[in-house]
Structure 1
Amino acid sequence: MSATVIRDVRIFDGEGIVPRGSVLVRDGLIACVGQVDVPGDAQVIEGEGRTLLPGLIDAHTHAFPGKLEQAVRFGVTTELDMFSVPSILRQVRAEAAKPYAADLRTSGTGATAPGGHPSQFMAEVFGAFPMLSSAEDSVPFVRDRVAEGADYLKILIEDGSAMGMPLPCLDAATVQALVEAAHAQGLLAVAHATTQAGAELAVAAGIDGLTHVFLADSEVDRLAARLAEARVFVTATLALFESLDDQAGTSLAADERIGARLSPELRAAVGHTPPGFSSVPGLAVHTAETTAALHRAGVVMLAGTDANDGPHGAFPVVHGASLHRELECLTMAGLTPVQALAAATSVPAKCYGLDDRGRIAPGLRADLLLVEGDPTQDITATRSIAGVWRQGRSVPYATAWGLT
């Protein structure tokens, strides 16, 4: 693989800004940052007026065949999958090994009660998958996930009240046992909890992270302080919540920097309440305010979308593209553009132990995103994609995904 130099570019290195510098990439790794001697075999990319960022990490997705290739075209070079089943997992892992697809980490099959979330959606498409009836099932369940190749454990604490559909839910003893079993196996334990009661249960059990911001009550500041003290990170998924409110997420597809590269089906779905769901007025504002309260309290926030466009059809948050809206939503909730960019690069890498990515530094993977303009001032500049590299390989990105 020949060398690449991205020259005289603004660099967001995952944590801070280098106003002007160059980056040398060789053999899939970042070789040098700053003052670079250009090798004779190097391809030179001019960076004037552009910003170079680490490849983006979407900290909450559901990976399906074809979607990792879609994601990387929008600068998402790593996806953290938050529920899969063995048949799908084999396919997406094979896709993640391709040079022009996002890399993947996964929870494998999440832990839920019999008939619990998300079986009401997934069982019809994928058939039966393992569930837990009691705390005694926790150790063998986690052992099976390790054998499945899970990188962390996802626990579903969902009674359906936030969805308007009562659902069986894991009890506190089972959640506690699952967290302990995960930690005993050296795995992080993260939880889906859409209510404040569910989030409190998860924190009491020793959870490491929450995969959604929750629907808060008047005591949100107290729980926010508790989350910060316990160092529990939270992936907000604000783009998902605003779509369930039929809110301004539709502006993403209307932005030609993104919309022109979406298939007609995806473009029509982005930001709109999906079929089978009822719009929840005020949900977007409520979850943004909760995110703001968590951020003020010092809770570590991650950028994630819950991208779910797969075999069941189009969904309002889509792989790759919707992370750019999530970044904007985070800034609307009070994060600075630099903090939002860190939430999609160095912060999830640190939280999930991905020590080889998320920053632009010598020796790390050359997963890179080059954009026109300055997203550290205008977060929507991440949509003006000028180049994507996955382990040093330039990714085709100019044509619309799904179009010929």
Structure 2
Amino acid sequence: MPQQSEATVNPGPRDRATHTPVTHDPATHDPATHDLVIRRAHVFDGHRALDGLYDIGVDGTEITAVSAEPLRGGTEVDAAGGWVVPGLIDTHVHFYDVHAVTDADSMRAFEERDRPGRLGLFLDHGVTTVKSVGDPTDGILDTRDRIAAGTLRGPRLLATGAGITGREGHPAATIFKGNPWARARWAAEVDGVRHIRDLVHRLADRRVDAIKLLSEGACAHSGGPAYLWRNPAFPDAVELERLPLDVLRAGIEAAHERGLRVTVHTAQQAAAREAVEAGADGLEHGVTVEPLTDDSLLELMRAHDVTYTPTLWVDDAHPDARANLRKVAEAGVRLALGSDTFSGRGLFGANTLEEAELMVAAGLSPAQVLAAGTSGAARACVRPDLGAVAPGKRADLLLLDADPTADIGALRALRMVFLDGGLTVDKR
């Protein structure tokens, strides 16, 4: 790869740092001039690397041209042979601090003191969309709406609200065992079919972006009827109740009635099969605590068009997690990148990059992982406007100094981040 020179930005009529829109007089605006042009870039378009160098034209929030021929822009960025890729999408995060929030006052303190900086960390690492799959419903939906309204700076936020689990299931009886205030808000414990159906419809009424169910929790089967959850941070194993099959199926059916996708937290093959057969659209974690030996499960996932999110950032300690991911990928099952990032370990945004690197370490190619973190993640989130460098897509773009299809570590060589066509991070 030839040595890269610094990008040159030619100021134009749009304030990219503040997302201030520009109003063009139709009588004077040249339609051949784009609001923004990123010039002479290699491109990974969300699926593959394109041959040659391209100019990318952006108008407003949308990509309007990807051209091998030169384009003109009111604002121009000289990529100087760098790489443009879609903004990264992390489909599995937990944003609120489960350790710090124990009552209404600590919740407000977190939102006032910590929320802005932690949202900014995602953007600083090139993560332009995140999906929360288990946060307090009121708080995370308020955060989502503030970002969408432009009163809070952060990545595009999608949210399921509280994760739905069985009575005394994970994480209610594990993470939140000693925190009843948070337990009532982070984990929605259900007692039966009617209860879960009513809860799913209430969440749908609040315009959640998807539904998250927890089947058996992050627990290993002990060889008997009990399911045990073990974590080094907790002194004792916790016996959990599984989400009954009829309740699991009812939750999925209710969500589908409202046009919402359902992703299910599993750890074992039996639970994964149960979720897929019940109609789940995605598996969070998938199979982590044992080797994936059931080839018919792979065929079932592929036949049902299920998305597998491996979350190696938390599950890499399980000796079978990497091999299971490799087997799933080789079988042609759809993949999405999701880190399971949470407060108290690592750094938001940086954890997403580590997830990408762990997926490569598991045996996937950089291009496969890039696709999982862009177009694959967008598909899992039912956001066809995201995850690709192509006309008609949202202008969520990263400009990198090195080739991420050769080395996934190039995601750390981040020069610029564009969100909805606005320059939101500039590291030159």
TM norm. shorter chain > 0.5: yes
Alignment of 1:4-403 (within 5 A): 4-18=36-50, 19-35=52-68, 37-39=70-72, 41-42=74-75, 44-64=76-96, 65-66=115-116, 67-97=118-148, 98=150, 100-119=153-172, 120-122=174-176, 124=179, 126-129=182-185, 130-159=188-217, 161-162=219-220, 163-164=229-230, 165-215=238-288, 216-217=290-291, 219-242=293-316, 245=317, 283=318, 285-309=319-343, 314-316=344-346, 318-396=347-425, 398=427
* Count of aligned pairs: 353
Q: Which letter does structure 2 place at the counterpart of 1:83?
A: G
Q: Tell me which moved more, 22-31 or 119-128.
A: 119-128
Shift of 1:94: 3.9
Distance in 2 (alpha carbons) for counterparts of 1:135 and 1:24:
51
Distance in 1 (alpha carbons) for counterparts of 2:367 and 2:307:
18
Distance in 2 (alpha carbons) for counterparts of 1:212 and 1:219:
16
Distance in 2 (alpha carbons) for counterparts of 1:349 and 1:50:
24
Asked if the contact 2:55–2:70 (Cα under 8 Å) also holds between the matched residues in 1, the reply is no
Q: Which letter does structure 2 place at the counterpart of 1:307?
A: T
- Given the superposition, is the C-alpha separation of residues 160 and 377 from structure 1 closer, same or farther in structure 2, using an over 3 Å criterion? closer
Shift of 1:127: 4.5
SS at match of 1:57: strand
Shift of 1:182: 1.0
- Given the superposition, is the C-alpha separation of residues 85 and 25 from structure 1 closer, same or farther in structure 2, using an over 3 Å criterion? same
Q: Which letter does structure 2 place at the counterpart of 1:374?
A: D
Asked if the contact 2:53–2:81 (Cα under 8 Å) also holds between the matched residues in 1, the reply is no
Shift of 1:63: 2.6
Distance in 1 (alpha carbons) for counterparts of 2:313 and 2:137:
28
Distance in 2 (alpha carbons) for counterparts of 1:393 and 1:374:
23
Distance in 2 (alpha carbons) for counterparts of 1:107 and 1:37:
42
Asked if the contact 2:291–2:320 (Cα under 8 Å) also holds between the matched residues in 1, the reply is no
Unaligned residue ranges in structure 2 (runs of 5+): 1-12, 15-34, 97-114, 221-228, 231-237
The structure 1 segments of at least 4 consecutive aligned residues displaced by more than 4 Å after TM superposition are: none
Q: How high is the sequence identity, in percent, across the aligned residues?
A: 30
Length-normalised TM-score, structure 1: 0.82
Q: Which letter does structure 2 place at the counterpart of 1:6?
A: I
Q: Tell me which moved more, 32-41 or 186-195.
A: 32-41
SS at match of 1:198: helix
- Given the superposition, is the C-alpha separation of residues 390 and 218 from structure 1 closer, same or farther in structure 2, using an over 3 Å criterion? closer
Shift of 1:77: 0.5
Q: Which letter does structure 2 place at the counterpart of 1:299?
A: V
Distance in 2 (alpha carbons) for counterparts of 1:115 and 1:397:
47
SS at match of 1:169: coil
Q: Tell me which moved more, 46-55 or 209-218.
A: 209-218
Distance in 2 (alpha carbons) for counterparts of 1:36 and 1:84:
46
Q: In structure 1, what is the equivalent of residue 24 of structure 2?
A: none
Asked if the contact 1:108–1:148 (Cα under 8 Å) also holds between the matched residues in 2, the reply is no
Q: Tell me which moved more, 62-71 or 201-210.
A: 62-71
Distance in 2 (alpha carbons) for counterparts of 1:118 and 1:176:
20
Describe the superposition over 1:172-219 as per-residue Cα deviations: whole angstroms up to 9, x where unpaired.
111011111111111111100112221121112111100113123462
Q: What's the RMSD between the two structures over aligned residues?
A: 2.0
Shift of 1:36: 5.3
Shift of 1:45: 1.6
Q: Which letter does structure 2 place at the counterpart of 1:157?
A: S
Shift of 1:169: 2.2
Length-normalised TM-score, structure 2: 0.78
SS at match of 1:41: strand
Asked if the contact 2:41–2:55 (Cα under 8 Å) also holds between the matched residues in 1, the reply is yes
Q: Tell me which moved more, 212-221 or 232-241.
A: 212-221
Q: Which letter does structure 2 place at the counterpart of 1:27?
A: G
Shift of 1:142: 0.9
Q: Tell me which moved more, 4-13 or 151-160.
A: 151-160
